Amino acid sequence: MEQLSYKQLEKLLEGVLKPGRYIGNETGIKSKDISTDSDTESIVFTALVFPDIYEVGMSNLGIQILYDLINRNKNFSAERVFSPWFDFEDNLLKSDLKLFSLENRIFLDEFDIIGISLQHELMYTNALNILKLGKIKIKSADRDETDPLVCAGGPACFNPLPVAPFFDFFVIGDGEEAFIKVLDVLKEKKKNKKSKKWFFDNIREFEGIFIPDDYNFFYNDKGLLEKIEPERKIRKAVLKKIDDFDIVKNPVIANIKPVHDRFVCEIMRGCFRGCRFCQAGYIYRPVRYRDHEKLVSQCIEGIEKSGYDEISFLSLSSADYPGIEKLIDSFTAETKNEKISVSLPSMRLDSFSFNIARLIQRGRKTGLTFAPEAGTQLMRDAINKNIDKNEMLECMATAFREGWEKVKLYFMIGFPDETYEDILAIPELVKEILKMGRELLPGRKVGRIGINLSINAFCPKPFTPFQWAGQDPIEVLEDKFAMIVNHLPKKAVNVSWSDPRKSKLECAISKGDIRTAEAVERAFKKGARFDNWSEYFNFDVWENAFNESGLNMDFYTSRKMSKEEILYWDFIDTGIKKDFLIKENSKAEEILRSRKESDTKDL
């Protein structure tokens, strides 16, 4: 296999800001060593690609899971590839060298299969750039039998059409079992020198496998989808017995500090809450819990092997894990002399308790993050975030009494039928929480007690009850955000805000179709890269790309879709029937209809 030499690597690193991103050799690497294993023909080589920089990709649990799982098999070897930063990319292009993997520095086009993790839609152009830097044709139709297979997985693949022409196939759903089955077939293909057609014929019936060439999409004269052929649905892959797969106990430890620098333990997968705007809550169903007794020993082993002093018990709603208090109690008791801090991301306000706070305090204090999402009770009920205000305030009081001085709160604006009352309730609630904190923690200096407030724009996502909704125009979202900021106290509240233009693009792509792929390709060729990075995001490039593709971005964003029309993602079966989503949508509409017009003024 063709590899980059040490000498070539040294040359590429000249003038590079962070060479640690590209040198590999980290603690915990597991790929086969091809310098000592000459029989490479008997091994299936997988490039696991994360289309963002090293520090972001090394924080992704999915990459660590697949990397660990694939490399346990003697017939498979997985190596990692991340998006190079601009300085390193320039050196690659000047040297006329191809992008390569970290472990054995194998050039990308030498791999048998390239698996790209798509965590969100604003990664799409980076994914295309990685293919280009690997000197692999970006369109599947232009690649031949000698090229690697290129596939994608991750949450941004549940509507795969906006990037369908660039991938040979998709793995939709849980990847642990599905991707290993694919690699088993690929092993036979490689051993017996079978064709790509043979390969596709043998994976087509696996759960979660979508092969774009199998499907055709027909439109009427209004641009609406009229028919999908064949009618066969792709049922997502589901890992039914999550405890059959241990957590990653010996993760790869990054050379330079990653975004999330801690040991991660996935305690459950899925969420039963059913927030009507939350795609993850629907696509990751059913809820599956890991056994907390097994987790304690696995986590202790993981902490010992990794050397981390912080652990994150990860899930979509960590405090909903049935054994969460037993898990934290047992873990902290076993590690009490090591001062291991515990964090619980994605906590619901109505699940957080004094006991959980007390248990977390055994280690170092970590930040507390909660997501009320909406300011008024009516809107919280409409989006199915059924958190009572009194429960919310009691939760905040618990946090302050236990000594936390700062909390982070997530809110969303732009929900269907939102009013001035809903928007103004957000700063009012923040001020009430801040006032309570100062009363419960008297004598603290001004500024010690504070709230980090994050405001995001609502994006109607596929496979949610709000998938038919339109998104607020950019100008309206900006006005709503300004209204919130103008009513917040100037001190003690730190506000972050997602660019509404980014939210519009995310919506346009996530609700896009096969025609949207042309806009993605055009934007990439016009220089779109790192679209999730504010300093490099260029909305004009994307708007022009849509226009030149004969598409109106507003068609995908602000248009309220009919419940009767065929949705672009209707060929994907997540296990949740569309009728259920329609009923949930109707419940939200009914709640909002109950609002008295005399008490509100529509925005």
Residues 134 and 260 grouped into a single domain: no
Residue 38, pLDDT > 70, answer no
Q: Which of 503, 504, 506, 512 is nearest to 561 (CA)?
A: 512
Give the integer Cα–Cα distance in Å for 34 and 100.
14
Residues 212 and 338 grouped into a single domain: no
Residues 218 and 283 grouped into a single domain: no
* Domain boundary pick from 210, 235, 260: 235
Residues 182 and 272 grouped into a single domain: no
Residues 14 and 142 grouped into a single domain: yes
Residues 83 and 152 grouped into a single domain: yes
Residues 180 and 77 grouped into a single domain: yes
Give the integer Cα–Cα distance in Å for 407 and 553.
37
Residues 52 and 148 grouped into a single domain: yes
Q: pLDDT band for position 565 (50/70/90)?
A: very high
Residues 170 and 76 grouped into a single domain: yes
Instruction: Specify the CATH number for the domain of residue 274.
Output: 3.30.750.210
DSSP string over 237-303: B--S-GGGS---SSPPBPSS--SS-SEEEE-EES-SS--TT-HHHHHTPSPEE--HHHHHHHHHHHH
Question: In the chain, how many domains are there?
Answer: 2
Give the integer Cα–Cα distance in Å for 129 and 571.
28
Q: How would you classify residue 414: left for phi > 0, otherwise alpha for psi between -120 and 50, otherwise beta?
A: left
Residue 290 within a domain: yes
- pLDDT per residue over 99-109, tens digit each? 999 999 999 99
| Confidence at residue 598, expressed as pLDDT on a 0 to 100 scale | 45
On whether the CB atoms of residues 316 and 61 are closer than 8 A, the answer is: no
Residue 182 within a domain: yes
- Structural domain containing residue 338: 252-366
Residues 277 and 227 grouped into a single domain: no
- pLDDT per residue over 128-175, tens digit each? 999 999 999 999 999 999 999 999 999 999 999 999 999 999 999 999
Cis peptide before 286 (omega within 30 of 0): yes
On whether the CB atoms of residues 348 and 320 are closer than 8 A, the answer is: yes
* Domain boundary pick from 350, 366, 382: 366
Token output for 481? 């955000």
Residue 301 backbone dihedrals phi, psi, to 5 degrees: -60, -40
- pLDDT per residue over 176-231, tens digit each? 999 999 999 999 999 999 999 999 999 999 999 999 999 999 999 999 999 999 99
Q: pLDDT band for position 450 (50/70/90)?
A: confident
**Cross-strand bridge partners of residue 493:** 451
Residue 210 within a domain: yes
Residue 195 within a domain: yes
DSSP string over 76-143: EEEEEEEPPPHHHHHHHHHHT---B-SSS-BBGGGSSEEEEE--SGGGHHHHHHHHHHTT--SSGGG-
Find the Cα–Cα–Cα–Cα dihedral 109, 161, 70, 264, rounded to 10°. 120
| Confidence at residue 365, expressed as pLDDT on a 0 to 100 scale | 59
* Vertex 428 angle, CA 386 and 400, to 5°: 75
